[in-house]
Structures are given as C-alpha cells and as structure tokens.
C-alpha cells in the first residue's frame, strides 16, 4: 500500500474514476487534510476536562505504591483499551490489575460488584475504559467504599447528572465544548490519558518510552467500534495500521499471516471483518478474558493458545448467529405480509443475547429499516434488546422518547441497547412504529446509494492502487460503492448453497473477463436468483453494484468485484 499523499494539483495523473469519486465526495476541497499522516497536525488529545486531575492521581498512586485497576467493556473497543493501558503501564514499570464484566452476569458498564471485586484485590484506584459515564449508582458506591474511580469513556453523558467519580474524561460529557475530540473511540480516550502522563512526566524530566506502538490498539478499536473517521481518527488509525505488519505485540501478530505482514499497511477491511469478530467472539458467548489475555500476551506460544480459543469461539458464534438471524428474518416476513414495515422489532425468549446485536445489523441490511432484537434476560420477566438504526435516523433520540418504558438504555445515534419489563414490549412496538410513521421515509430507511458509475474497461490496477490511498475505510469514509452498466454475466457458480461466484464480460472488450463474489446472495430479500438474472439480462440489461477488491491466493493477486446487488435494467 502506498502511503504517499496525493498531489491535488495533478488531477490529470489520477485515474478518471478516482477523479469522479473525489469530486462526488468533495475530497478535492480538503484533500491535504483527508490524506494527511501528520501526527503533529492532530488536535490536542489531552485537552479534555479532568485530564490534569487524572494524571496527578495516577502519578500519586504510582509514587505511593497503590494498586491500580483497569476496568473495560467486553467489546473490541473496551478490550483494546484495557490492553493499551496494560502495555502503557508495563512500559513505565507498573503492574495493573485488569477487570472485564461478563455480558451475561454483570452486563454492560461498571457495577457495585465491580467495585467489590477490585477492592478484594487491594485496588486503590480503578480506571474505567469505554464505560462508566451512565453508572451513577456505582460511582456513589465507590465513594461509600473509599475507592477512587476515574471514568474514561466516549459514550453520551445521558443521565440526570454527571457521575460523581474522582474524575471523568469523556469528549462527550455535557460540559465539553470542543467538538473536535467527540469522535474519539474509547481506546482513543485511553491513548489520550497515556499521552497526557507522558507529556507531564517529560516536563518533569522523567522519560517514558515512545507510546507510538500503542496506536495499533487505537486503530483496531476505532475501526471496530465504528467511530467516525474524521481526519483526527484517520491519522491515528493510519499510523496504527502501518505498524501492525512489524508489530512487537505477540497477541496482535497472531491475527496476521506471513502474506499479511508483507503489506506496508494492513487494510482496514482485515480489521473490521476478521480481527474484530474474533476479539468479540468470546465476549458474545461467555467471558471476554481470552481475547484480553491474547492482546496482553508476552510470547507467541501463549498468544497462539489464546488465539485458538477465539477461533473456536468464533465458529460457534457464526452457527448461533445464523440460526437466530434466519428465525428473526422469518418473523419479520410474517409482519410484512400483514402490514407495511416501519421497523424490524422481533422477540424470542431463547435467542442468544450475545448475537442479537449482529442479528439486528443484518436485519437492517436485509429489510432496510431500523431493527430491535429482543430476548429474555436472566430474569424471565425482563427482556433485553440490541437496536440498530437505518439511514440517517437518530435512533438514540427515538429511544429516549420511550425511556419511561425501560429499566435502562444507552448508546448513540446508530446503535443502542436497552432492557425493560417484558409486559412493555407491545407498548414499545406501537409507540416506536407510530413515531417512525411521522418521520420522512428517506430519513428512516437505508437508501440505495452509490458513489459513481464505472465502465468495465476502467477497472484496472491503477484504480485499485489509488483507492488504497483512501484507507482506512469505515464510518464516515465508507469503502467506495460503484455501479456498472456495460457488463453481463457469462457464468456463475453457487458456493455452499448461499454464495455466488460470478464471471462478467463486456461486449465493449471481447475476450476480457472480471470475476466477482456475492456472499450470502441466495435467499436475499427482494433479490432475483442468478438464473433469473442470467435469463433476462440480454433483454433488459444489467446494473451491477459492487466494491472493488483483490483476491489473494497462493501469491497471486486478482482484481475482484465484491458484488452487493445486481439489478435488471439501467438502475
């Protein structure tokens, strides 16, 4: 991958499709910032309220040989945040205790039982990562027990008042006025604390090893938590991805093959579709400790053992997820047959709580409306849900209008979680759908958008190489989506009953072919089968919608279309 900044004055040297893409996304207007790798141009990450207070408390704890604990959420952001702090404190010769809750026992957030567990280990100072901003009762309990609690988080400060913790570092706390740091993921906030300690100690003449390698954890957590890829997050993530091929962290290295390590920069897609699901898998099915143990492993043998646990767990997760999704999809289809669909609100008592978030996302992808997937909690009278938005809908604000029905809820515009008495489910469904009816359809549904049209003959290695300059891809910098009209299906092959491998040709370029792959294509909602598309293409024409990728196999690199949809006609 090339890490050189594009010269925006040389449009004529760029691939024509890239020029159209940059114009559509208005990248040329801020190209220097968009493509920048300059860490010196970052905003001051340490300019958050309570930062000085936090640095002083941590410094005092180290001087006084107090025991420090790190408490993180069970997802990728929380796990990478814990690992980042672990390695930082190890750099400065301080041993810390790590704590994570179980999704199924304690649940999300920091709890009174978390305070008790920390104090049983002799912890005097407990630092949360990626959680805590809404746990007011736990903060009160910590004060009562004499435990100093520092909250580092990035979620919305949504309760009636701020938590009464020793310190609260959160770019989204209610009294933070600067907007520029708000997109930081939890792991970005944790990195900011480490940076503040390093800077403060440096002024006092105490040197700390470079914390630059910790950006590897920032990259993984930021991409997987779908933090918006603003120029700030792009810079942090690019430098993290650049270090991974030669990482010194055994746990990070275990995710990547020798071929992967041949890259200058690891592609963001490898993180979002491979590394993230593996880290998440343990927390989804039981306890996340194996994932955290992997990321803090000190040798390759230990790392490999923990990695193997994640692989097994992820395979099990995929099976469970597939079963829940198919049942949920059937439930939604029944609803569609009887009425217009405004949301996919589904519930079954036996669904596995650890996969309902992924299932909600897949329902949004399938039916293009917001999804809320409910299952029973440990208390059969209480249901829990994972919720995902569609389009530009602010799901958090919608849920806020139903908060009197909930025991608790939290999240942000695109995703949220909640729990409520089971008896409130019909009222919630009615209120949510009545609310959605009042919102314009374009705002509450997934719009079938794409970037630019491509011609068959424009797909070449120059285009692929220039697309790589736009990395990392993710929320706010989505992988470009193209449409092509001058292609037809020469042949196709169905793989494992659900995937389709395509071969496309064009009358404009006799003899040339391009391969494509569609995952989970067979059985897609409102999608024609390959034989129907093949039979009707000559008469009606085709429109192929896709991302561009490279299929790497046994040392060969072949351009491949990652086909999302195929329409008849010239859509």
pLDDT, tens digit, 9 for 90 and up, residues 174-214: 999 889 999 999 999 999 999 999 999 999 999 899 999 99
Residue 337 has pLDDT above 80, yes or no: no
Give the angle 368-374-378 at the CA atoms, nearest 5°: 160
Average pLDDT of the residues in 37-43: 96
CA nearest neighbour of 548 among 524, 515, 510, 513:
515
pTM for the full predicted model: 0.91
Q: Who has greater pLDDT, 284 or 70?
A: 70
Report the pLDDT value the prediction gives residue 551, as an integer from 0 to 100: 83
Report the pLDDT value the prediction gives residue 571, as an integer from 0 to 100: 60
Helices (H) and strands (E) in the chain, counts: 20, 17
Report the pLDDT value the prediction gives residue 4, as an integer from 0 to 100: 42
Report the pLDDT value the prediction gives residue 201, as an integer from 0 to 100: 97
- The total of other beta-carbon atoms located within 10 Å of residue 228's CB is 17
Residue 2 has pLDDT above 60, yes or no: no
Q: What percent of the chain clears pLDDT 70, i.e. is strictly above it? A: 97
Under CATH, what is the fold of the domain 339-444? Answer: Diaminopimelate Epimerase; Chain A, domain 1 (3.10.310)
CA diameter of the chain: 80
Report the pLDDT value the prediction gives residue 3, as an integer from 0 to 100: 41
pLDDT, tens digit, 9 for 90 and up, residues 372-404: 999 999 888 999 999 999 999 999 999 999 999
Domain boundaries, the chain: 11-30+450-568, 41-310, 339-444
Under CATH, what is the fold of the domain 41-310? Answer: inorganic pyrophosphatase (n-terminal core) (3.90.1640)
Report the pLDDT value the prediction gives residue 9, as an integer from 0 to 100: 59
List C-alpha distances in Å: 505 to 27, 310, 452, 485: 32, 41, 20, 11
Residue 53 has pLDDT above 60, yes or no: yes
User: Which segment of 68-72, 335-339, 364-368, 545-549 scores lowest on mean pLDDT?
Assistant: 335-339
Report the pLDDT value the prediction gives residue 553, as an integer from 0 to 100: 73
Instruction: Please provide the CATH number assigned to the domain covering 11-30+450-568.
Output: 2.40.50.460
Average pLDDT of the residues in 68-89: 97
Report the pLDDT value the prediction gives residue 389, as an integer from 0 to 100: 95
pLDDT, tens digit, 9 for 90 and up, residues 514-548: 999 999 999 888 889 999 999 999 999 999 999 99
CA nearest neighbour of 418 among 377, 461, 478:
377
């Amino acid at each position: 991958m090339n890490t050189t900044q594009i010269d925006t004055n040389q449009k004529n040297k760029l691939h024509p499709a890239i020029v159209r893409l940059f114009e559509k996304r208005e990248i040329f207007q801020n190209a220097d910032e968009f493509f920048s790798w300059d860490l010196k141009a970052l905003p001051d990450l340490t300019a958050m309220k309570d930062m000085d207070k936090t640095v002083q408390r941590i410094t005092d704890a180290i001087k006084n040989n107090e025991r420090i604990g790190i408490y993180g959420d069970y997802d990728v952001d929380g796990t990478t945040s814990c690992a980042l702090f672990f390695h930082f404190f190890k750099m400065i010769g301080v041993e810390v205790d790590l704590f994570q809750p179980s999704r199924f026992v304690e649940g999300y957030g920091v709890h009174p039982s978390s305070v008790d567990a920390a104090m049983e280990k002799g912890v005097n100072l407990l630092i949360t990562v990626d959680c805590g901003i809404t746990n007011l009762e736990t903060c009160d309990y910590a004060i009562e027990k004499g435990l100093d609690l520092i909250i580092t988080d990035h979620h919305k400060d949504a309760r009636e008042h701020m938590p009464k913790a020793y310190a609260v570092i959160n770019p989204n706390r209610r009294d933070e006025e600067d907007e520029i740091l708000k997109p930081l993921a939890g792991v970005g906030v944790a990195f900011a604390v480490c940076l503040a300690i390093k800077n403060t100690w440096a002024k006092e003449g105490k040197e700390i090893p470079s914390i630059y390698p910790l950006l590897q954890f920032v990259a993984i957590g930021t991409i997987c938590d779908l933090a918006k890829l603003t120029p700030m997050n792009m810079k942090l993530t690019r430098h993290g991805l650049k270090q991974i091929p030669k990482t010194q962290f055994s746990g990070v290295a275990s995710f990547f093959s020798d071929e992967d390590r041949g890259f200058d920069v690891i592609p963001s897609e490898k993180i979002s579709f491979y590394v993230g699901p593996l880290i998440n898998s343990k927390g989804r099915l039981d306890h996340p400790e194996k994932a955290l143990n992997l990321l803090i492993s000190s040798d390759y043998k230990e790392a490999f053992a923990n990695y193997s646990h994640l692989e097994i767990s992820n395979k099990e997760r995929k099976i469970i997820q597939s079963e829940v999704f198919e049942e949920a999809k059937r439930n939604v289809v029944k609803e569609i047959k009887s009425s217009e669909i405004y949301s996919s609100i589904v519930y079954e008592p036996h669904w596995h709580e650890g996969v309902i978030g992924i299932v909600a996302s897949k329902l949004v992808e399938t039916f293009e409306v917001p999804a809320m997937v409910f299952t029973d909690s440990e208390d059969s009278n209480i249901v829990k849900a994972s919720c995902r938005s569609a389009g530009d809908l602010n799901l958090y604000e919608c849920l806020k209008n139903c908060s009197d029905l909930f025991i608790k809820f939290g999240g942000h515009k695109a995703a949220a979680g909640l729990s409520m008495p089971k008896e409130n489910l019909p009222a919630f469904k009615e209120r949510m759908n009545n609310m959605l009816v009042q919102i314009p359809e374009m705002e509450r549904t997934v719009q079938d958008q794409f970037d630019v049209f491509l011609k068959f003959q424009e797909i070449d290695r120059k285009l692929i190489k220039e697309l790589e300059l736009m990395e990392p891809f993710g929320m706010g910098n989505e992988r470009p989506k193209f449409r092509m009209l001058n292609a037809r299906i020469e042949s196709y092959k169905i793989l494992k009953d659900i995937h389709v491998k395509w071969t496309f040709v064009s009358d404009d370029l006799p003899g040339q072919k391009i391969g494509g792959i569609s995952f989970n294509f067979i059985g897609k909602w409102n999608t024609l089968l390959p034989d129907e598309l093949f039979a009707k293409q000559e008469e009606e024409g085709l429109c192929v919608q896709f991302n561009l990728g490279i299929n790497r196999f046994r040392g060969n690199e072949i351009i491949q279309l990652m086909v999302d949809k195929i329409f008849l006609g010239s859509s």
